[in-house]
């Protein structure tokens, strides 16, 4: 459904699948957040290439050892300088950390209204524990890329692209 609508092209950069380069098409979710009620509404599924998906989930790209690759792709697709990309990522981390303080209710009506059956999502605190286990199974999280002044614990960590 998602891939067909996008004609098997990345909706962000236009790439097509290239298994030799480990680039495949992946479904990515777009959410609307009600920051007061702590409800996140699934609004759209988009087709992204592996590199765009890693750039979108930069924290995950970092813990899986793909941070530099995702950073370079973000800069290339957006036309950002390294400094602009670093600020973009740091700003996103601030939002992620703020939202991660709460347990969220997932609203998946977009799927259920389309007749798609979904398994009940793991609830709040349990979801955090699952995410923690999955992250640690990949490898321990490195110091995040960020900027000072946003969130406690944030620091600048330059990325060197070879």
Helix 67-78 with 82-99: angle, nearest 10 deg:
110
Whether pTM > 0.85 for this model: the answer is no
Please tell me the predicted confidence (pLDDT) of residue 94. 95
- The rounded distance, in Å, linking the Cα atoms of 158 and 155 is 10
Please tell me the predicted confidence (pLDDT) of residue 127. 74
> Based on the number of CB atoms within 10 Å of its own CB, is 162 exposed (0-12), middle (13-18) or buried (19 or more)?
exposed
Instruction: Report residue 92: phi and psi, to 5°.
Output: -65, -35
Per-residue pLDDT 10s for the chain (162 aa) are 899 999 999 999 999 999 998 899 999 999 999 999 999 999 999 999 999 999 999 999 999 999 999 999 999 999 999 999 999 999 999 999 999 999 888 899 999 999 999 987 777 677 778 877 877 776 554 444 444 333 333 333 333 333
Per the CB < 8 A criterion, the answer to whether 121 and 108 are in contact is yes
Checking phi first, is residue 44 left (phi over 0); if not, alpha (psi -120 to 50) or beta?
A: beta
Is beta strand 105-107 parallel, antiparallel or unpaired with respect to 39-49? parallel
The distance in angstroms from the start CA to the end CA of the chain is 38
Hey, where are the domains in the chain? 2-138
Please tell me the predicted confidence (pLDDT) of residue 140. 52
Neighbours of 97 (CB within 10 A): 17
CA 155 to chain centre: 20
């Amino acid at each position: 459904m998602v891939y067909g609508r996008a004609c098997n092209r990345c909706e962000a950069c236009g790439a097509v699948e290239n298994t030799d380069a480990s680039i495949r098409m992946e479904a990515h979710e777009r959410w609307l957040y009600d920051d007061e009620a702590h409800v996140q509404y699934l609004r759209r599924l988009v087709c992204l290439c592996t590199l765009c998906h890693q750039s979108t989930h930069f924290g995950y790209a970092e813990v899986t050892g793909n941070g530099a690759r995702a950073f370079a792709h973000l800069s290339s697709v957006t036309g950002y300088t390294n400094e602009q990309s670093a600020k973009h990522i740091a700003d996103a981390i601030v939002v992620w950390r703020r939202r991660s303080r709460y347990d969220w209710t997932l609203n998946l009506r977009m799927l259920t209204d389309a007749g798609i059956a979904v398994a009940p999502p793991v609830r709040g605190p349990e979801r955090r524990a699952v995410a923690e286990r999955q992250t640690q199974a990949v490898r321990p999280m490195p110091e995040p890329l960020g900027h000072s002044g946003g969130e406690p614990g944030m620091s600048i960590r330059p990325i060197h692209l070879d």
